[in-house]
Chains A and B, each alone.
Chain A
Amino acid sequence: MNSSTTLYNLGELTRLGSTDGPLQRLHPAAKLFTTILFIVVVMSFGRYTLSALLPFLLYPVVLATVGNIPPASILRKVALALPFALCIGIFNPFLDTNPVLYIGTLPISGGILSFCSILFRLFLTVSATLALIGITGFYTLCAFLPRMGVPRIFANQLLFLYRYLFVLLEEASRMERARNLRTFSKKGLGLRVYAQLLGHLLLRTFDRAERIHQAMLCRAYTGSLPLAPLPPFGIRDLLFCLAWGLFFLLARVYDLPQLLGHILSFWI
């Protein structure tokens, strides 16, 4: 992962979370629970399911378009998430070669079907999660977590980590650039220099933590951070949850594309 692209991508999603829009104004609980429901329903299908999963594309597409998230930023991250699922799923076509489906006379094996299913589900789950964070924003999400019963110390930890992520990523990318400029024909890119770089970064990190702590004490820190206020859970939020819940139920019970195909063939 290139350092500058990492920074850019991270900042991109944050910026999106702070913009205003109909989806951004929804309560974080509505968006979080609907997205979790979405992922659970998508993953609850059998392993050979493909066509019944297609309608679920609607959810990330609507979130991304209404939320004004550029599709390219989501697609880039899906590509980053691909390798592991690819490594594990790639065995399916070789291990399961029974033809289960005929398109015309072309047999499709169960392995290929389940492999495609894994890849499509990866796309669905990853894009839904990224769209969720894009339209919710991390600070709002963290403000909601303790109200849901997540330990407060953990919500604080997430906020802290997120706040200093940018600072330390920038520092590390400066160090990396400095090292790369001083290395010739790969000399100095090995473990020795790397460990010393990390060690120094770690020492600086400890010092930074100490300074932050002092600054916090000066500002009357008592052990926990105040939470940002959240709007009440309104009728719009409820409607959002119910409408999507109903759609997920419908798409889970009926294989909508299959139905559509049959209606078409019936007419023609």
Chain B
Amino acid sequence: MHMADALISPVTGGILWAVSAALLTVSSQRMRACFDSRLIPLMGVLGAFIFAAQMINFTIPGTGSSGHLGGGLLLAILLGPYAGFLTITSVLTIQALFFADGGLLALGCNIFNLGFFPCFVVYPFLYKPLAGLSPTRKSLSIACVVGAIASLQLGAFSVVLETVASGITELPFASFALLMQPIHLLIGLVEGLVTAAVVTFIYNARPDLLQLSGKTKTWSIGKLAATFALLALVVGGFFSSFVSSDPDGLEWSIQNLTGKEELPAPDAAPYNTLATLQEKTAIMPDYAFREPAISEEMPAHTTPPAPSTETSDMSTAESTGSLPTLDTATGMAGLTGGVLTLILTLLLGFFLRRRARHE
């Protein structure tokens, strides 16, 4: 459930980048405070272990599918929350850069979904109390399964929120959540069973390794609650002021800059972003269709806001804002121009490649 760049808006991606960067800084400072030079190579090799473990699959009995380890919770258990968070962040970064799993803009979201929840929510508040101070096989297993399910539920819910806030997809909030949560309940159960099996194996073979995480200090409840409240305030404030009014942050800021709230007319509306600047293109003689009168004269081509998106204010705002009213000429012009652009780009690519070969 790595978020992809193609599914999030720059505002959502930017906010979660900021949150994840802050978490990364805090974790690094914590690590520096109780520095243990053994941890540095251990974190690196354990990150590589997560990759290696993901490469091996196992078959899930009764189904044709196979599962593998996710790793966030396991890293938190083995390394403690701060080192675990740094490690899972590095794993996600490499996945984004080399494996096209996620992306640069979505990296903040992925770190938050897959790193923050297991390390800073599930590990201190769910795993630790469930495992107890002197863990047994049974308590460890229960803690792992419950912890993995909880982290995946939180992560999946966060994916839903981020996707809906970005407004790239049509999916209404409620049905998307209803789709995501049950799927991730199953994935969480599998992940929990694997984590439990690995942790109990380590517990039997080298119980001392599970004590490593005990060395890092955990936050006091009050401090954590205050941080959460602050985070919620910041994120909530940003989301409500930016996202609900208009998911497109660039558009939002341009509108603020130019002081124009609405477009003068539903002209070539799919391209309505940066509307005021785009007006300049109207000097093209063939742009008669851009005049507002056209869209009023052609009610057959005007489209009402999609009824299915009414469940969510955000998507309705987006739909009415950018639902296009286009005539055939525009469609054809876009198509021919588009095909031509593609051909030109690819030709340039071939030309450059040939030149590079000659050199």
Q: Whole-angstrom distance between the alpha carbons of A139 and B353 in the complex?
A: 26
Q: Whole-angstrom distance between the alpha carbons of A96 and B167 in the complex?
A: 13
**Residues from chain B with Cβ under 8 Å of A68 in the complex:** 353, 356
**Residues from chain A with Cβ under 8 Å of B46 in the complex:** 205, 209
Interface residue A231 (Cβ < 8 Å from any Cβ of B): no
**Count of chain B residues near A, Cβ 8 A:** 130
B270 and A113 contact, CB distance less than 8 A:
yes
Q: Whole-angstrom distance between the alpha carbons of A133 and B55 in the complex?
A: 22
Interface residue A30 (Cβ < 8 Å from any Cβ of B): no
Contacts A85-B6, A119-B6, A172-B52; A265 near B356 (Cβ below 8 A): no
B45 and A43 contact, CB distance less than 8 A:
no
Chain B's nearest CB lies how many Å from the CB of A61? 4
**Residues from chain B with Cβ under 8 Å of A192 in the complex:** 197
Q: Whole-angstrom distance between the alpha carbons of A119 and B5 in the complex?
A: 11
**Residues from chain A with Cβ under 8 Å of B340 in the complex:** 257, 260-261, 264
**Count of chain A residues near B, Cβ 8 A:** 134
Q: Whole-angstrom distance between the alpha carbons of A199 and B127 in the complex?
A: 20
Q: Whole-angstrom distance between the alpha carbons of A179 and B327 in the complex?
A: 62
| Nearest chain B residue, comparing its CB with the CB of A105 | B328
Interface residue B186 (Cβ < 8 Å from any Cβ of A): no
Contacts A164-B44, A206-B42, A262-B284; A154 near B167 (Cβ below 8 A): no
Interface residue B234 (Cβ < 8 Å from any Cβ of A): no
The one of A21, A43, A138, A221 in contact with B9, judged by C-beta atoms closer than 8 angstroms, is A43
B45 and A212 contact, CB distance less than 8 A:
yes
> What is the interface of chain B, defined by CB distance below 8 A to chain A?
1-10, 13-14, 24-25, 28-29, 31-32, 35, 37-38, 40-49, 51-53, 55-61, 69, 86-87, 89-91, 93-94, 96-101, 103-105, 163, 167-172, 193-194, 197-198, 201-202, 205-206, 209, 248-251, 268-274, 277-278, 280-281, 284-287, 301, 303-304, 306, 308-309, 318-319, 321-338, 340-342, 345-346, 348-350, 352-353, 356
Nearest first, the 3 A-B pairs at minimum CB distance are A160-B44, A261-B337, A195-B197
